C-alpha cells in the first residue's frame, strides 16, 4: 500500500509540475507577465521540494497501466485558451490528489498542496480573463445574429471566414428555444476558438457558460451583471451618445457599441447617431468599441474614415448568400 501511495504522489507531482511549466511559458512569452511567470516558477519549485527521493524511487513506468490511456480531446488544442484551460485543470486535479494522498505520507504535504491549489485558482482567474480580453481586442469584426431558419449554418460559415466574435440576439423567441439555440451556438463558437456573447440575458449567458453578455441601456446595471457572471466574463454595453459612453466606461464595461451609425430595422426606434459620434469615440474611448447600425460593404469605407477600427454587423452577414466570403471581405478591409 505504501508503494502505491508513493507512485500516486510521484505521478501527480510530475503532472502538476509539467502543467505549470506549460502555463508558465505562456505567461512568460505570450503575456510578458513577470509576476505570473515568477509565481508559476515558485510553485514548481515548492512542488519539487516535495518530490523526495523515496517518492521518485517508487516509480514503475513499465507496469503503469495508465501510460497508454488517452482521450481524443487531449490530441488537439483549438486555441491558446483551450490549451491553458486544459493544463490548469490538469494542475488542479493533480493538486487535489496530492492534498488527499499526501496526508498518508506527511501531514504537511496535504496542507501545502491545498494552499497551492488556491494560488492556482487565482492564476486561472487572471489567465482566462486576459485571454478573453485579448481575443476581444483582436476581434475587429463582430457578428450580431438575427432570427433565421439557417442560423447555425450562417454562423458557422462566418466562423469559417475567420470571424472570432459572435453575439446571439433574438428578442422574440420562446425562452426554451432561446436557451437551446444559445447552447448550440456557444459550442459552435468555441469549436472555432471564437468568443460567444449573449444579448441582454445574463441568466442565459450564465446557463450556457457564454463568454459574456451584451447589455442595452435599459438592461440591468453592469455591476450586477458582473456580480452574477464574475470577472472572467466579458460585458458590453450599447451607447448612443458621449454621456452613455462615459457611464459605460465608468461602470466597468469591457467594450461598447457605438451607434446606430445609420438607420436600421434592427433598431427602428433609435435615431441614427451618425458619423460624428464615431469621430468622438475614436478620439475619446479607451476601451474597444464597435461601430454598429446599418453598416455593410457599401458604407464601410465611410465608417473607417472616422477613425473606427471595429464594426458590428447584422444583415450584411446574416442575409448574405455567402457569409464566409463577406466576412473575409470585411476582415481584409478592417
Active-site residue list: 169, 238, 267
- Closest among 133, 198, 138, 199 to 163, alpha carbons compared: 138
Where in the chain does DSSP place strands (E)? Answer: 141-144, 165-168, 195-199, 212-215, 234-239, 255-258, 289-292, 311-313
Q: Which helix (H) or strand (E) holds 140?
A: none
Question: 188 burial class (0-12, 13-18, 19+ CB within 10 angstroms)?
Answer: middle
Measured distance CA(325)–CA(93) in Å, rounded: 43
Q: Which helix (H) or strand (E) holds 314?
A: none
Measured distance CA(226)–CA(242) in Å, rounded: 23
C-alpha 117, offset from chain centre? 22
Amino acid at each position: 500500500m505504501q508503494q502505491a501511495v508513493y507512485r500516486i504522489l510521484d505521478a501527480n507531482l510530475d503532472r502538476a509540475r509539467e502543467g505549470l511549466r506549460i502555463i508558465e511559458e505562456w505567461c512568460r512569452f505570450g503575456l510578458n507577465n513577470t509576476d505570473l511567470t515568477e509565481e508559476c516558477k515558485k510553485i514548481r519549485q515548492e512542488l519539487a521540494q516535495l518530490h523526495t527521493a523515496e517518492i521518485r524511487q517508487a516509480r514503475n513506468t513499465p507496469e503503469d497501466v495508465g501510460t497508454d490511456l488517452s482521450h481524443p480531446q487531449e490530441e488537439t488544442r483549438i486555441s491558446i485558451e483551450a490549451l491553458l484551460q486544459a493544463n490548469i485543470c490538469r494542475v488542479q486535479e493533480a493538486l487535489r490528489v496530492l492534498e488527499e494522498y499526501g496526508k498518508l505520507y506527511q501531514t504537511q504535504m496535504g496542507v501545502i498542496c491545498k494552499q497551492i491549489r488556491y494560488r492556482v485558482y487565482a492564476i486561472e482567474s487572471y489567465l482566462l480573463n486576459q485571454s478573453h480580453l485579448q481575443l476581444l481586442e483582436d476581434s475587429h469584426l463582430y457578428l450580431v445574429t438575427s432570427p433565421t431558419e439557417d442560423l447555425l449554418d450562417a454562423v458557422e460559415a462566418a466562423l469559417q471566414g475567420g470571424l472570432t466574435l459572435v453575439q446571439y440576439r433574438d428578442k422574440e423567441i420562446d425562452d426554451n428555444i432561446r436557451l437551446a439555440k444559445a447552447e448550440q451556438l456557444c459550442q459552435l463558437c468555441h469549436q472555432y476558438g471564437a468568443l460567444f456573447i449573449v444579448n441582454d440575458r445574463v441568466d442565459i449567458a450564465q446557463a450556457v457558460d457564454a463568454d459574456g453578455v451584451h447589455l442595452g441601456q435599459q438592461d440591468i446595471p453592469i455591476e450586477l451583471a458582473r456580480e452574477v457572471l464574475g470577472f472572467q466574463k466579458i460585458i458590453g454595453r450599447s451607447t448612443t451618445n458621449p454621456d452613455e459612453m462615459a457611464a459605460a466606461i465608468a461602470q466597468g464595461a469591457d467594450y461598447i457599441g457605438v451607434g446606430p451609425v445609420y438607420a436600421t430595422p434592427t433598431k427602428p426606434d433609435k435615431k441614427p447617431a451618425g458619423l460624428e459620434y464615431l469621430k468622438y469615440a475614436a478620439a475619446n474611448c479607451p476601451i474597444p468599441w464597435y461601430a454598429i447600425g446599418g453598416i455593410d460593404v457599401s458604407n464601410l469605407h465611410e465608417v473607417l474614415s472616422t477613425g473606427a477600427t471595429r464594426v458590428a454587423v447584422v444583415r450584411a452577414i446574416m442575409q448574405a448568400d455567402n457569409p464566409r466570403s463577406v466576412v473575409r471581405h470585411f476582415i481584409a478591409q478592417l
